[in-house]
Amino acid sequence: MHELRRPSLGHACMAVLRRDLTLAWRQRGDMLLPVLYALIVTSLFPFALGPEDALLRRIAGGAVLVTVLLAMLLALDAMFRSDIEDGSLEQLMLAPQPLAVMMGMKILAHWLATAVPLIVIAPLLAGMLHLPAPVIPVLLLALLLATPLLSLFGGVLVALTAGTRRSGMLLALMLLPLCVPVVIFAAGALAAAQEGLPWIAPIAWLGAALVMAVVLAPLACAAALRIALDS
């Protein structure tokens, strides 16, 4: 009856990615907020702790790490909010495309829009706290692995709490235990690098966790959304 021309999966993925990145760019003021937050928090540390070089150098790695992850939390609960409110998510769910892959693309777009700017300014933040220059590549590597993990965990939890009102509090509570191992491994790598010890093991753990999350989190996210909207 109809002349069908179904888009390929790759085409649909690009459509989701392009739309979400266009939206992020149109609302780039919102994108700036986590960056600003990270800059403010980092610049407050020397005032609160005193401008002692040795002290700052010791806490620099951990402080930047925690600041970046907290800044990411600011934007996390908005990940699918507008899509639920304006019905875009229903359209996505009814599309003849695997929902898990589409959600994976949405999470990727969210990571590109919120985490990448933070990673870009991370060397600046590290410099403000006198992190030794040789440790900065390790910091960037740790952030490159830790931030997508947080986005993926966040995506699942946001999907789980999609049906509930005022889900921000619940989200923060549920995300905390998932953040802890990420912070431990990332901070472990930084501490080792700062003392001149081999730091590859904790980074490898982060990488392994990321590979698992990339595969499993979109599936969990899609399943959770189907449950959340079935009410």
Partner 1 sequence: MTASPSATPLLEARALSFHRQDEPVFGPLDFRLEAGELTLIEGDNGSGKTTLMRILTGLLRPEEGELLWRGQPLSWDRCSGEVLFLGHQLGLKTELSPRENLAFAIGLYGQHNLARINEALTLVGLTGYEDEAVRKLSAGQKKRVALARLLLIPASLWLLDEPYANLDRTGIELVNRLLEAHIAQGGAALVTSHGAVQFHGGEPQRIRLHA
Nearest distance from residue 7's CB to partner 1, in Å?
5
Alpha helices in 7-52 (DSSP H): 9-26, 28-49
In 3D space, the residue among 210, 41, 199 whose CA is nearest the CA of residue 128 turns out to be 41
- Cβ proximity to partner 1: between 14 and 180 the closer is 14
Instruction: Output the smallest distance, CB 38 to partner 1, in A.
Output: 25
Can you list the alpha helix ranges (DSSP code H) found in 86-194?
A: 88-94, 99-128, 136-160, 168-194
Pick the closer one to partner 1 by CB: 99 or 192: 99
Tell me how far, at minimum, the Cβ of 159 lies from partner 1, in Å. 15
Select 105 or 156, whichever has its Cβ closest to partner 1: 105
Of 100, 131, 136, the C-alpha closest to 220 is 100
Say if CB 151 and CB 60 are below 8 A apart. no
Residues that bind partner 1 in the complex, under the rule CB under 8 A: 1-7, 11-12, 14-16, 18-19, 22-23, 26-27, 82, 85-88, 90-97, 102, 226, 229-231
Please tell me the distance from the alpha carbon of residue 150 to that of residue 73, in angstroms, as a whole number.
9
The nearest distance, CB 230 to partner 1, in angstroms, is 6
Q: What is the distance between the alpha carbons of residues 16 and 10, in angstroms, rounded to a whole number?
A: 10
Q: Which is nearer to partner 1, 28 or 212 (CB)?
A: 28
- CB nearer to partner 1: give 82 or 164: 82
Contact 113, 17 (CB under 8 A): no
Burial of 39 (0-12, 13-18, 19+ CB in 10 A): middle
Query: Residue 45 Cβ, how far from partner 1 at the closest point, in Å?
Result: 36
